[in-house]
Amino acid sequence: MSDAKQVIERLGKKATAAARKMRMIETHNKDDALRAAAVLFRAEMDDILVANALDMKAADENKLEASLKDRLALNAERVEAMAQGLEEIATLPDPVGAILDLVYRPSGIQVGHMRVPLGVIGIIYESRPNVTADAAALCLKSGNAAILRGGSEAIHSNRAIAKILRQALLQAGVPEDAVQLIDQTDRALVGALLAAEAYVDVIIPRGGKSLVARVSADAKVPVIKHLDGICHVYIDAAADADMATNIALNAKTHRYGVCNAMETLLIHQDAAALLPRIVGDLLDEGVEVRGCKKTQAACESLNVRTASDEDWATEYLAAVLSIRIVASLDGAMDHIAQYSSGHTEAIVTNNYDAGQRFLREVDSSSVMWNASTRFADGFEYGLGAEIGISTDRLHVRGPVGLEGLTTQKWIVMGHGEVRS
Amino acid sequence: MSDAKQVIERLGKKATAAARKMRMIETHNKDDALRAAAVLFRAEMDDILVANALDMKAADENKLEASLKDRLALNAERVEAMAQGLEEIATLPDPVGAILDLVYRPSGIQVGHMRVPLGVIGIIYESRPNVTADAAALCLKSGNAAILRGGSEAIHSNRAIAKILRQALLQAGVPEDAVQLIDQTDRALVGALLAAEAYVDVIIPRGGKSLVARVSADAKVPVIKHLDGICHVYIDAAADADMATNIALNAKTHRYGVCNAMETLLIHQDAAALLPRIVGDLLDEGVEVRGCKKTQAACESLNVRTASDEDWATEYLAAVLSIRIVASLDGAMDHIAQYSSGHTEAIVTNNYDAGQRFLREVDSSSVMWNASTRFADGFEYGLGAEIGISTDRLHVRGPVGLEGLTTQKWIVMGHGEVRS
């Protein structure tokens, strides 16, 4: 057996044993652990910052990009934010053990579902050390054991954070091995983790597109993944002009680098008169606009570049927007079916039939009617926390909160019933 | 590209196009198609039986086992049962489009879930031709497009059944390609189907353990699978004697070849006095009993063979039972954690704490308190139909009915809200 496989097997066995105990840990112990970790983050902030300084020094030596260095850097404020994040998760309702829809059947038995933890969750992430605390806290609150694999550039920070988390678990009477960090940077360990079907129930990659694609391609373990967010807003013929303008502006310009930002605006040809106003506002905000020929014609005096087919398939994550005029609602939905990544799409319309059809027929993880795509978010949806947004179809779709880290089992309560 | 890959790509493209249309097909059209198929099965019964006779002739020539030939054989009664099965599925509520938990958020938006079809479902099964009708009907009612791959020994029967199903779809205004049969017997087609991530959303194998294991090992597409059913009944110290006896007898002897039959009986040492009665009744029913040493001692005068470690890990699917005396509830749950296949376990007890702990801590798809394991079944649970029982943890667990063939998307209904 390779060394990597042995390391993962050792971690996996400990995680499996911890996961079994975690199923019965009471809510107050989990919450105590989260609060104890917050206290320790504040008390031992210096240790974390010293460890982070080692990572930052190595980052300088390795000439890491400025954006990566920014993600890697910790300071008092960021550590305090991590501590507060843990305290917030402690206030959320515990999803584990909730019994849903318990009903009597003609046979006399009662049948329902109970929410239970997934088991062992592997988290693979990149340079942000705060993910170590966030992800561990979400796994803990949902009753799972976590195996964490952060980026090698953050190894010292991650070790310091994981050490504090485990100390807090111990204080609160929760199995320490519910949080384990893979504390070697050997790349073979990722491969071994992705193949560890016997020990890991699900893998969640958190990071850029290339990380997620690599994890998905290689994993034998099921993956809850988030790929692109090529989100659309469709302005229908029956849209309110002010509402359409506000939503289009907000969906594009509220933040550029986020997965729920609009990347393509579709507009019904009968609403094309709205375009000069919307495009003017976008240009004023510094957005580069690329349009189909009809869009260019409708915005003659404005600086609209030519959109290519490639634009429709691009997640810009930047101050760029493509615009296409369509002949009908069906034309808009055809475009979406062809180019959407299945993340989030919105229609703006006051027409009941158009809105109903769009909600029903568009096959994305979030489908919206008269609201900005920027609402596709665990906090906005009321999940209280979010480990990511799933663009998969099975198990969990869209923003993933604590419930997304659980599964269900059937429970039956009887009085001695037998099958006849 | 290989021929097999081309064939699957052609089917997959048609299925994907049909699946998109299926999302908007109204309930009455789907039900009309199911009822039309039932009418056609009865009207064209001769065609089905002639096709089946070809398969039976080939089965004779190929010296197929008697049990396989029994599964393969159709007659008027079995075709009528298929027709009635379709009519029953037509009476079930349509899961698609149901909106759950739509609530207002502080931002003003309404957020909830809508149930939607999974998309394209590949079903891989063995000799029973009735699966062609059952599986297609469940996929159809849940708004999915099905690609069916039956056993080569049933190819003529499956062709005749699929032809009728497609004719019924056409009559009812439902896309014909919502049901497609892979009508060549080339084995490479299975491999190509399992790899067709671009066209198939999920694969459901229906058949014996070796088929399911092969499909799971090879599939790139997610699989909803059912492996072993090593089910346990645990008789607690505080069990009612009659109830314990009834449940143990029913769980073992009601039917032997089924996945929800008990394979191991665990009993608390303080309840061991019940064993002679239970074992006596089991022996009277012709069950072979294999026990631990303590069981043998407790049933001195009875014919109890010696159970080996292998027995604890065996799904007999036959008139054989292993029995183990345990020192405590924890001992029972330790045994279950080690040997159970995660299908169904039951406790018999009148002790509140013991029952509560068992329900909470045992990690199987069905966990029961004072009821026979034989209730783990889609019909008994009220699903109205069942495409199988999932022993997976993600997406769907336990009996899989129409809802298990759907996924959810988030829907947002607003009034022009934007993020601030």
Q: What is the 3-state secondary structure (H, E, C) of A51-106?
A: HHHHHHHHHHHCCCCHHHHHHHCCCHHHHHHHHHHHHHHHHCCCCCCCEEEEEECC
Decide whether A3-225+400-411 matches A231-375 in CATH topology.
no
DSSP strand E in B230-271: where?
A: 231-235, 262-268
pLDDT over 80 at A315, yes or no: yes
pLDDT over 70 at B205, yes or no: yes
Between chains, do B368 and A202 touch, taking CB under 8 Å as contact? Answer: no
| pLDDT for the residue numbered A127 | 82
Between chains, do B366 and A412 touch, taking CB under 8 Å as contact? Answer: yes
Q: How confident is the model at residue B411 (pLDDT cuts 50, 70, 90)?
A: very high
| pLDDT for the residue numbered A227 | 81
* Residue A412 touches chain B, beta carbons under 8 Å: yes
Report pLDDT digits (tens) over B125-136: 988 999 999 999
ipTM: 0.93
Report pLDDT digits (tens) over B45-58: 999 999 999 999 99
How far is B18 from A416, CA to CA, in rounded Å? 47
Task: Quote the crossing angle between the two packed helices B155-171 and B130-141, to the nearest 10°.
Answer: 30
| pLDDT for the residue numbered B51 | 98
Q: Which of A99, A394, A405, A420 to mutate to test the interface with B (most CBs of B within 10 A)?
A: A394
Question: Between B23, B363, B370, which is nearest A414 by CB?
Answer: B370
Report pLDDT digits (tens) over A197-212: 999 999 999 988 889 9
Q: How confident is the model at residue A168 (pLDDT cuts 50, 70, 90)?
A: very high
* Residue A23 touches chain B, beta carbons under 8 Å: yes
| pLDDT for the residue numbered A207 | 86
* Whole-Å CA distances, A367 to A33, A271, B256, B269: 37, 21, 48, 57
Report pLDDT digits (tens) over A129-150: 999 999 999 999 999 999 999 9
Question: Which of these ranges, A286-300, B4-18, B23-37, B385-399, has the smallest mean pLDDT?
Answer: B385-399
* Residue B13 touches chain A, beta carbons under 8 Å: no
| pLDDT for the residue numbered B227 | 81
Q: How confident is the model at residue A2 (pLDDT cuts 50, 70, 90)?
A: confident
* Residue A360 touches chain B, beta carbons under 8 Å: yes
Tell me which CATH code domain B231-375 carries.
3.40.309.10
Measured between CA atoms, the residue of chain B closest to residue A97 is B360
| pLDDT for the residue numbered A208 | 85
DSSP label of A364 = S
Q: How confident is the model at residue B208 (pLDDT cuts 50, 70, 90)?
A: confident
How far is A322 from A200, CA to CA, in rounded Å? 41
* Whole-Å CA distances, A392 to A228, A257, A339: 11, 21, 16
Instruction: Enumerate the domain spans of chain A.
Output: 3-225+400-411, 231-375
Q: What tokens were used for A236? A: 């229908």
- With a CB cutoff of 8 Å and minimum separation 6, the contacts of B233 are B247, B248, B251, B262, B265, B266, B345, B346, B347, B348, B372, B373
pLDDT over 80 at B211, yes or no: yes
CB atoms closer than 10 angstroms to residue B325: 24
* Residue B407 touches chain A, beta carbons under 8 Å: yes
Residue pair A236/A348 in contact by the 8 Å Cβ criterion: yes
Q: What is the mean pLDDT of residues B145-165?
A: 97
- With a CB cutoff of 8 Å and minimum separation 6, the contacts of B295 are B267, B272, B275, B279, B304, B307, B323, B324, B325
Query: In chain A, what residues touch B250 (CB-CB under 8 Å)?
Result: 418-419
Q: Is A164 helix (H, G, I), strand (E, B) or coil?
A: helix
Report pLDDT digits (tens) over B317-361: 999 999 999 999 999 999 999 999 999 999 999 999 999 999 999
Query: In chain B, what residues touch A398 (CB-CB under 8 Å)?
Result: 409-410
How far is B184 from B205, CA to CA, in rounded Å? 18
DSSP label of A319 = S
Between chains, do B109 and A375 touch, taking CB under 8 Å as contact? Answer: yes
Q: Which residue(s) pair with B348 in the sheet? A: B235
| pLDDT for the residue numbered B198 | 93
CB proximity under 8 Å: A 100-119 to B: 103, 105, 107, 109, 111, 114, 116, 118-119
How far is A12 from A199, CA to CA, in rounded Å? 5
Q: How confident is the model at residue B1 (pLDDT cuts 50, 70, 90)?
A: low
Between chains, do B254 and A418 touch, taking CB under 8 Å as contact? Answer: yes
End-to-end CA distance of chain B: 51
Q: What does DSSP say about strands A388-390 and A304-306: parallel, antiparallel, or unpaired?
A: unpaired
Between chains, do A409 and B419 touch, taking CB under 8 Å as contact? Answer: no
Query: In chain A, what residues touch B413 (CB-CB under 8 Å)?
Result: 359, 368-371
Tell me which CATH code domain A3-225+400-411 carries.
3.40.605.10
CB atoms closer than 10 angstroms to residue A316: 20
Residue pair B205/B310 in contact by the 8 Å Cβ criterion: no
Report pLDDT digits (tens) over B305-329: 999 999 999 999 999 999 999 999 9
| pLDDT for the residue numbered A1 | 65
Q: Is A112 helix (H, G, I), strand (E, B) or coil?
A: strand
Between chains, do A382 and B103 touch, taking CB under 8 Å as contact? Answer: yes
